Structure 1
Amino acid sequence: MVTTATALGLTVVTLVVFTLLGIRASKGHVESVEDLITARDSAGEGRTTATLVASVMGVWILLSAPEAGAVFGIAAVVGYGIGEALPMAAYAVIGPRIRETIPEGHSLTEYAYVRYGDAMYAFVLLVSVSYMFVFVAAELTGISLALSFIADVPQWQTAILVGGFVLIYTGYGGLRASIFTDTIQAVIVFPLLVVTFVGSILALGGPGAVHDGIVAADPSLLDPTAPDGIRFGIAIALAVLGAELLNQTWWQRIYAAENAGTVARCFRNATLLNGLIVALAALLGVVAVGNAAVENPAVAFFTLLEGAAPEWIVLAVVLLALLLVMSSIDTLFNALASVVTADLPRLLDDPDDRTLAFGARALTVVVAVAAVLVSLEARSVLELFLFADLLGAAVAIPLVAGLFSESLGGRGALVSGIAGLAVGAAYFPFPLGVGEAIRAVPVLETLLPAPDGLYLTAFAGAFLVSGLLTVVLARLSAGTYDFDRLTREIGRLDDSGSDEFPGESVPAAGSGEAGEKTRER
């Protein structure tokens, strides 16, 4: 067992080093709010690929992915891998389209406002911010549980240390600091994960011994055709796909990449890398069940370490977990700040650059504090992530469809998203006692169906209902959307040296509105 002092010492040193690296990398490069939240056209193929990998690889891959493998076996391992690969493949197509239709954009919420109007904008804002906030809370929960289990570090200490240090360099350097630290973290994380996996297998006596242990404990875990495993695997794939399509993280990186070609290539690279990494992490849960007494699947991998791994492997895992949680939390802090900051020019009366930057940093602080508080109460990272994923599964299709369909209107998109969320929520086994509270309401108790413990009905229902309604309502619509509006009405926040105020743009020639200014949002 690693001592508390050793784990805390490694934690503080790692946090300090990356905080200094993030500050140094961004010093002198953040001269406007645009630099802070978009780092536009600044990342080449190598750095973009690295940040696409590091941004999604949070500490959850050592907790929720192994938890799924420990409970549902190989089918869940495959499902998780496919689930992480699918959104990257989707963004290889969607990303260039976003840059083409909204060349000066920043966030998915400003797109939702201009494309669909107030109501859908408010719905997307609520869902996307909720999803990213739960993601942050789940990451802090994960690292707190991990260090508590490994070295008896109090959860509040871990949450405050990690949240506080990441807040320092993201608040200072914004997206540039995040991308720079992501690049270093990606280079270190993959070898560490491989070393951890191989070292654990060898410590258990080798592949043969590991296989025999799994067969003796629960042979169904190795059955890829196990019904429960397949159901959960499909649910996970749908859950992750929906959530990532609503993740502001990727919209930021689409604009940070050098050009549309870089975006497409890097997302294709991430399709393979992210799928393999997550599948490998989920497999650790299957190994754990066969070779350790796993009482709590939420910490299955760490239970395995406690029983079999030498101290050097445990320390490697602590470092791995810290790098993972930093790479995802700094990304989410920036994503949340950019969503709100991009909308401030519409809500305030011509705010200057300093006001916008202050708003971005203030929101990051609020999110960090709230996420720390939530993390102290949560016990399962997987449950938190699945709850967040449900929000994305319901809204993803109507939101993305607006990039390609001229006929889908704001009302149709909103109805589709709300209907999908309602169906998904009806079958969802809510965490933290929320489900019990909902079903205790007299009227709802008789109307709601039994929750689906394997999540397939909830996620498939959300996806299918929202998707089908999107198609039907788009066909029934008589309207035709002018995609040029996205270019005219969404512009830079820093005024780019023009004579216009931030938040205003001149319509393109030939639009029929020459000589008039159009409020941007």
Structure 2
Amino acid sequence: MNILTQQQGFLFLFLFAIVMIGLTWIVSRNKFWTGSQIGFLKAGSNVSWSFGAFSIAASWIWAPALFVSVQKSYEFGLAGMFWFTLPNILALVLFAFLAPKIRERLPGGYTLPDWIRYRFKDERIHKIYLSIFFWYQIMAITVQIYVGGLLISFLTDIQLDIVMILLSSISLSYALISGLRASIITDFLQMIMILGVGIIIIPWAIFEAGGLESVSKGFGGLQHIDSIFNPEVAYSFGIVTSIGLIAGAISDQQYWQRSFAIKKGDLVKSFIWGGVLFGIVPIALSVLGFMGANPDLNISMPQGVELPMIGVAVVAKLLPTWATLLFVIMLMSGLSSTLDSGFAAGASLWAIDSVKFSKFEKEVLRKERLGQSLTKEENTIKKDLDRKTPIRARQAMIGLAIIGLIVALIVEYVPSFTLDVLWWIFNAIASMVVVPTVLGLFWNKLSARGILFGFIGSFIGIIVFIWGSVVSNTNMIVFSAVFIILISLIMNLSFPSKEKFHG
């Protein structure tokens, strides 16, 4: 299904790149954004609630929000839309409680793993957290590269691996300019494009399909589910999705990074509005899934095209080519916002948690975390860190782009290495850190021993989850997903610290 020639496809990508790079360059000409630690990694730590909310929403609009939301409404109707959208919104709103708390605990922090290191003084726990958080960013980058590549290749017939290289290069090119500031500024523009195009495309598609009746006829999806609270959908899809999405947000440095970047007084408003803005997108896109499931419209997928592209197929059938191109710009905006956010988040994990610092540099970072004043000598060290940290962060971005691209190419060329199975297995692994992260912020008697025992118990659940995914056993998948959270909670509460944490 080619709505553009290959030449037009290359031109489209080129123009998209020029807009994003140009915007980033215009708003990042001050050296503070490009050449200081706090400017590059935290956008100055003074981001307003409006930019913060738009960035939070845009960076959470992963490929699943753009494609899986449509697919699940297409398959399960209203029940699919409900169980996909609600936990996604809750995952962001949860940070309205978590973000102010971590800013209270660690005013000048940068990453969640760095807080864990400060809180427990245990390198084993810090390394486990860091590995999980790093892998999450690699997955974020890989998913956007691969799905974005499928989309553009589907519409232009450009070879998939070429598109993936171009997409990763575009987002990397403007992320390298000013780090998180580049991500937040382009997120704002991309979210406006997502909402603006959606306001045009969705009502127009409904009109062309024959009105609201064309939507309501697909409310049951392909499986003719008659209730939004259908117990079978809730059990087989809702439970695991809810746990996975909430665990994913808590394991995602992108939102902890924004927790440190947004003005402290604006955090609650930013995350609540971020959740609301995000929710508009999968709810609106689900309408396309309902129409796709309406038998009267006779919409089918082209040969060899995967089911998540059903939304594109609906728009392409009902609307003219230029409107489909607008829809593609909307989808590209969502994918790019998460891709550049992944680069910025991964860069902070490398520059703060992975690099070896001198004794004096560690003391400067400790004081910065706690918002304490620096001596004249320490300010000199801080200036040196301002010089070195953006360089290290940019190196990390390039490394993440290469690794993400390699994983995406493996997914393309190794049939058994499927992205969806890999993604849900990783969400199970991410569930390991949900309980200790929340308890570590709000309970001063959480111990390193309890966390380690919780990890060991959770690992048993992960093995069962992986095996259940391999053999497609729903009962095993659901049981293990719940077991990981419960055993972690039991172990963390069973081994409290003898002394309260003060800090």
Give the TM-score normalised by the residue count of structure 1: 0.82
Equivalent residue in structure 2 for 1:183, among 185, 188, 193: 188
Q: Is the 8 A contact 1:423 1:462 kept in 2?
A: yes
- Does residue 479 of the first structure (1) align with residue 499 of the second (2)? yes
**Aligned length in residues:** 463
SS of corresponding position for 1:38: helix
Partner of 1:83: 87
Question: Equivalent residues in 2 for 1:54-73 (5 A)?
Answer: 54-73=58-77
Gaps of 5+ in 2: 362-383, 413-417
SS class of match (2:411): coil
Inter-partner Cα distance in structure 1 for 2:476 and 2:68: 14
Please list, as runs of the form range in 1=range in 2, the aligned pairs for 1:79-158 lying within 5 A after superposition: 79-116=83-120, 117-158=122-163
Residue 91 of structure 1: CA displacement? Answer: 0.9
- Which residue identity lines up with residue 502 of structure 2 in the other structure? D
> Counterparts of 1:248-263 in structure 2 under 5 Å?
248-259=253-264, 261-263=265-267
Aligned to 1:513: none
Q: Which residue of 2 aligns with 1:508?
A: none
Rounded Cα–Cα distance in structure 1 between residues aligned with 2:218 and 2:228: 18
Q: 1:422 to 1:127 in 2, by over 3 A?
A: farther
Asked if 2 retains the 8 angstrom alpha-carbon contact of 1:61 and 1:282, the reply is no
Q: What displacement does 1:418 show? A: 3.8
Q: Does 1:392 align with 2:396?
A: no
Letter paired with 2:204: G
Residues 306 and 183 (structure 1), Cα distance of their counterparts in 2 relative to 1, 3 Å cut: closer
Is contact 2:130–2:353 with CA below 8 Å preserved after alignment?
no
1:326 maps to which residue?
A: 336
Seen in structure 2, the aligned counterparts of structure 1 residues 333 and 429 have a Cα distance that, compared at 3 Å, is farther
Q: Which residue of 2 aligns with 1:470?
A: 492
Whether the 8 Å contact between 1:67 and 1:300 is mirrored in structure 2 is yes
CA contact (8 A) 1:26 1:177 kept: yes
The more displaced of 155-164 and 119-128 is 155-164
Q: Is the 8 A contact 2:77 2:218 kept in 1?
A: no
Q: Given that residues 468 and 476 in structure 2 are in contact (C-alpha distance below 8 angstroms), is that contact kept between their aligned partners in structure 1?
A: no
Residue of structure 1 in register with 2:371 after alignment = none
5+ long unaligned stretches in structure 1: 437-449, 484-521
CA distance in 1 between counterparts of 2:468 and 2:196 reads: 36
Q: Following superposition of structure 1 onto structure 2, how do residues 335-354 of structure 1 map, counting pairs within 5 Å?
A: 335-344=345-354, 346-347=356-357, 352-353=384-385, 354=387
Contact kept in structure 1, 2:75 and 2:222, CA below 8 Å:
no
Give 1:300 shift: 2.2
Give the TM-score taking structure 2 as reference length: 0.85
Contact 1:344–1:356 under 8 Å retained in 2: no
- C-alpha distance 388-203 of structure 1, shift in aligned 2 (>3 A): farther
How big is the alpha-carbon RMSD for the aligned residues of Structure 1 and Structure 2? 2.5
* Equivalent residue number for residue 442 of structure 1: none
Instruction: State the AA in 2 paired with 1:281.
Output: L
The aligned counterpart of 1:445 is none
Kindly indicate whether the alpha-carbon contact (under 8 Å) linking 1:185 and 1:324 is maintained by their aligned counterparts in 2.
Answer: yes
> 2: CA distance between counterparts of 1:459 and 1:68?
20
d(CA) in 2 for partners of 1:201 and 1:360?
46
Would the aligned equivalents of 1:409 and 1:479 in 2 still touch at CA under 8 Å?
no
User: Take 2:326 and 2:463, find their aligned partners in 1: how far apart are those partners?
Assistant: 39
Indicate the residue corresponding to 1:413 in structure 2: 451
Measured at CA, do residues 296 and 49 of structure 1 come closer, stay the same or move farther in structure 2, by a change above 3 Å? same
Matched, 1:43 2:47: yes
Quote the Cα distance in structure 2 between the aligned partners of 1:158 and 1:350.
Answer: 45
Task: Label 1:320 to 1:206 Cα distance change in 2 as closer, same or farther (>3 A).
Answer: same
Query: How far 1:349 sits from its partner (Å)?
Result: 6.7
Q: CA deviation at 1:245?
A: 0.9
